[in-house]
Amino acid sequence: MAQVNLRKIVKDYDDVPAVRGIDLDIADKEFVVLVGPSGCGKTTTLRMIAGLEDITDGEILIGGDLVNDVPPKDRDIAMVFQNYALYPHMTVHENMSFGLRLKKVPKDEIQRRVKAVAGILGIGELLERKPKQLSGGQRQRVAMGRAIVRNPKVFLFDEPLSNLDAKLRVHMRTEIKKVHQKVRTTTVYVTHDQVEAMTLADRVVVMNAGLIEQVGTPHELYHSPATIFVAGFIGSPAMNMMRCGLEESAGALRLRLHGDISLPVPAERVARYRSHVGKANLLLGLRPEHLTETRAQTLPGQAPFDVTVEVTEPLGMETLVFFSLNGGEVCARTNPSANLQPGKRAPLLADLRYMHLIDEASGRVL
């Protein structure tokens, strides 16, 4: 078993806290992605798992064994770095087999492993080339291959795609996912790109200011964020946050967004939100795809309202429409056939079945 367990992990640089007492359990063969903005502590956490950073307090277990004082070379992990760190004077074969040769693995076993992994990664014909003769994507595959041939307990990836262009990043995301499906090894992957996190992970760990904000599947984080930070960080374009008031009338609740915009709260949410009627600092969270052009038929939980369009962004299969509400910018995803024009009034539809009511003061989703 190669589960990874973090227990109350703390990392301070002098008096500056980088990681502030996090707990995390990563199951055997699971692909977990640590995601968050720069400075949130995700890379520091990865480096502590690898043994490249000493921990200030807490415990790290790999495969059930405490590794706080175990040197990196004895932790049975393999790390793929942001810059690949290939030896320029060695061939691809020599780079991939380097760790095995240090461990004095028999030559025929090295040959078998390198050939097998090169086949998985599609770099069999590159084994005699040197890194300078490879493209960025090919170098990335070699760095992955060097890790895979060692057959470690845990793979660690530190923003491995950040040096690639946008198109190649998308391609390599798919390749990494394919490799994990073939080589079912526990994997911890760090990125600042939430799209990368959502497409790769079994579970995503959202970090902020040295703390874990939420852990969950991509579906859970997208549809059931626990905090305003997660709601705003996950998803592109980001979730709209609109100041609102919660009003009650004849047992029903309404969201007052603006003087003349009032939307009904779906009946199934009334009991959940009733205790928050009249509270200050409430926000309505609604993703752009849940603000659309009006439809011929309105379903329960959907409510029409009118706005003045300020900017449109045609993207081919959809058009993003931007407007202002209570001094904040709001984005709607519309069908290009709706042909909404800047400067003109437009009828939109809010699908409140997917709404989130947020307490701005605490940052919690209610």
Given a cut of 70, is residue 234 above it in pLDDT? yes
Encode the chain in three state secondary structure: CCCEEEEEEEEEECCEEEEEEEEEEECCCCEEEEECCCCCCHHHHHHHHHCCCCCCEEEEEECCEECCCCCHHHCCEEEECCCCCCCCCCCHHHHHHHHHHHCCCCHHHHHHHHHHHHHHHCCHHHCCCCHHHCCHHHHHHHHHHHHHCCCCCEEEEECCCCCCCHHHHHHHHHHHHHHHHHCCCEEEEEECCHHHHHHHCCEEEEEECCEEEEEECHHHHHHCCCEHHHHHHCCCCCCEEEEEEEEEECCEEEEEEECCEEEECCHHHHHHHHHHCCCCCEEEEECHHHEEECCCCCCCCEEEEEEECCEEEECCCCEEEEEEECCEEEEEEECHHHCCCCCCEEEEEEEHHHCEEEECCCCEEC
For residue 186, name the pLDDT band (cuts at 50, 70, 90): very high
Question: In percent, how much of the chain has pLDDT > 90?
Answer: 70
pLDDT tens per residue across span 69-106: 999 989 999 888 877 788 999 999 999 999 899 889 99
Average pLDDT, the chain: 91
pLDDT tens per residue across span 163-172: 777 887 888 8
Across the range 319-347, mean pLDDT stands at 92
Beta 154-158 vs 311-314: how paired, if at all? unpaired
Per-residue confidence (pLDDT) for residue 176, from 0 to 100:
83
HSE, side-chain direction, 13 A CA sphere, residue 231: 26
Per-residue confidence (pLDDT) for residue 151, from 0 to 100:
85
Across the range 9-25, mean pLDDT stands at 93
Domains and CATH numbers, the chain: 4-233 (3.40.50.300), 240-365 (2.40.50.140)
Beta 31-35 vs 203-208: how paired, if at all? parallel
Distance (Å, rounded) from C-alpha 198 to C-alpha 189?
Answer: 12
Which is more confidently placed, 326 or 7?
Answer: 7
| Alpha carbon 312 to its chain's center | 27
pTM: 0.89
One-letter amino acid for residue 339 of the chain: N
Backbone angles phi, psi at 251, to 5 degrees: 85, -10
Per-residue confidence (pLDDT) for residue 1, from 0 to 100:
60
Across the range 109-120, mean pLDDT stands at 90
CB atoms within 10 A of CB 295: 11
Query: Which candidate, 290, 292, 194, 191, places its Cα nearest to that of 235?
Result: 194
Least confident among 49-53, 57-61, 166-170, 247-251: 166-170
Given a cut of 90, is residue 136 above it in pLDDT? no
